[in-house]
Amino acid sequence: MKNGQQQLNQVIAIESGVKNRTHTIMSEIYKALQHPGIFDGFYKKYTPAEEGGEVLPPESKLVQLSARQVIEKVTPALTELFDLTAAKDYANCAARGDVVVDGTPLVKDAPVTYLLFLEKQLTDLHTLIGKLPTLDPAEKWDLDLNSQLHRTASTLTGRTKKTQRPIVLYPATPEHPAQTQLITEDVTVGHYEQVKISGAIQAPVQAAILVRIEKLQHAVKFAREAANTQPAPAQAYGKTVLDWLFSGQ
């Protein structure tokens, strides 16, 4: 549709399939967001404190999903759905309005039906972004440019083992032998070196995206109220809108 117009009946013929496909993708992501642990990972390596000490294998957990992957999966699906709906609504409706944010028109001459559609999609998108897990503020995170995941500096934690040793309660005398007792104590036998890894989103980035969505929601409502009846050809706006929303990612 970006390279030319389609007939309205062609758009209607494929609309249901595109809607169902987008709904499936969004449902899968919402389901994944019910398990925030899949955004987390770690790697830790154990080193015995003494040569010849007990050797333990390293442990790790892979990040199964990242906020970047969620956005990258959502963007093409919504772009297709936004553009298809725009083609149908532009052909179907004469009432139009401009969506203007901070003086910049993001969507021009949009039909009222498309503005209503955008309002619903932005509400859903606001919910989705708001549910993305954020990086733990108690940790210092750095972005790994290779994996595009955040990780912490390595930390060391000790591993202890309970051992018993005797202590003398009463020393020996000419008349009586010494009295002793076994006590249990924790002895450090090694340490773990751990790096935390996360696919969660940075809280400031999440907040900035939510502010943009809310600003765009207001602009769409204003455009709907000010819609007029001037003619305009169908346009594709999905990429423009979503690029702007996620430009801070």
- Please state, in angstroms and rounded to a whole number, the distance separating the CA atoms of residues 12 and 113: 15
- Please state, in angstroms and rounded to a whole number, the distance separating the CA atoms of residues 47 and 131: 38
Helix (H) / strand (E) element for 185: namely: strand 179-198
Is residue 51 over pLDDT 50? yes
- CA distances (Å), origin 233, targets 28, 202, 224: 35, 40, 18
Is residue 14 over pLDDT 90? no
Q: Which residue has the higher pLDDT, 144 or 172?
A: 144
What pLDDT band is residue 94 in, cutting at 50, 70 and 90? low
Candidate from 182-186, 206-210, 219-223 with smallest mean pLDDT: 182-186
Domains of the chain by residue range? 1-34+66-134+200-249
- Please state, in angstroms and rounded to a whole number, the distance separating the CA atoms of residues 134 and 169: 56
Q: Which residue has the higher pLDDT, 6 or 228?
A: 6
Candidate from 4-8, 140-144, 158-162, 182-186 with smallest mean pLDDT: 4-8
What pLDDT band is residue 248 in, cutting at 50, 70 and 90? low
What pLDDT band is residue 1 in, cutting at 50, 70 and 90? very low
pTM, to two decimals: 0.62
| Number of neighbours of residue 112 by Cβ within 10 angstroms | 19
Mean pLDDT of 182-194: 87
The pLDDT value given to residue 164: 86
Q: What is the DSSP string of 186-217?
A: EEEEEEEEEEEEE-PBPHHHHHHHHHHHHHHH
| Most confident region among 150-159, 187-196, 206-215 by mean pLDDT | 206-215
DSSP 8-class letter at 154: P
Over residues 159-173, the pLDDT tens digits come to 888 888 888 777 878
Is residue 46 over pLDDT 60? yes
One-letter identity of residue 144: D
The pLDDT value given to residue 233: 37
Angle between helices 112-131 and 8-33 (to 10 degrees): 20
- Burial group, residue 67, by CB count within 10 angstroms (0-12, 13-18, 19+): buried
